[in-house]
Structure 1
Amino acid sequence: MSDLQTRFDQAQIDVKTLSERPNNMTLLRLYALYKQGAEGDAHGDKPGMTDFVGRYKFEAWEALKGTGREEAMQKYIELVTDLLEGKAS
């Protein structure tokens, strides 16, 4: 397993230890970066208009289309680190 993958996996664990819940925009960014890093570009059907949360999550992920998995993993790690250090909300 690569060092980047190891740090990405650790960030997934670390994000669950945050003392405060991040704001909704930060949660969407975390979700999108995680999905892009784990699965690549968005795929599947976009959730319907009545599934607001699902639609926002899908659109956040879809906005990262073309971003490399390694780049998304690195940005996810950096965002989790900033949250843990109180540099982001």
Structure 2
Amino acid sequence: MTIEEAVAKTKTFTSKPSNEELLKLYSLYKQATEGDNTNERPGGFDFKAAAKYNAWLALKGKTQEEAKSEYIALVEELSGKYAG
């Protein structure tokens, strides 16, 4: 499965993964497609943006290939729980 196929598979989920699972999907996808997070930390009270930033930042140093493999494995795992 490619990362594009994995992304498409997440769109078939019939129920929403937990916030923790969504953050993990987001951070692995960003690491897989963009590499290390070099963006500025979001300011103020945008807690959702800060959580996403921190989740991605925590993967610093993980290769894009490792992140792709982990993203695909996570989608396969979650599809058992959330796909129809």
Q: TM-score higher than 0.5 here?
A: yes
- The total of aligned residue pairs comes to 82
Q: Secondary structure at the match of 1:85?
A: helix
**In the alignment, is the contact (CA less than 8 A) between 1:32 and 1:64 conserved in 2?**
yes
CA distance in 2, matches of 1:17, 1:46: 32
Which amino acid is 1:43 matched to? T
Q: Secondary structure at the match of 1:75?
A: helix
Gaps of 5+ in 1: 1-5
The one-letter code of the counterpart of 1:11 is A
SS at match of 1:86: helix
Instruction: State how 1:1-89 maps to structure 2 within 5 Å.
Output: 7-86=2-81
**Residues 31 and 57 in structure 1, CA contact (< 8 A), matched pair in contact too:** yes
Q: In 1, Cα distance between the equivalents of 2:7 and 2:42?
A: 25
Structure with more contact order per residue of length (Cα contacts < 8 Å, sep ≥ 6): 2
Q: Could you tell me the percent identity over the aligned residues?
A: 43
Unaligned runs of at least 5 residues, structure 2: none
Q: Which runs of 4+ in 1 moved over 2 A?
A: none
Cα-Cα RMSD: 1.3
User: Residue by residue, what CA displacement relative to the aligned partner does 1:24-83 show, whole Å, maximum 9, x if unpaired?
Assistant: 000000000000000000011010131100000000000000000000000000000011
C-alpha distance in 1 between matches for 2:53 and 2:33: 14
TM, length-normalised to structure 2: 0.92
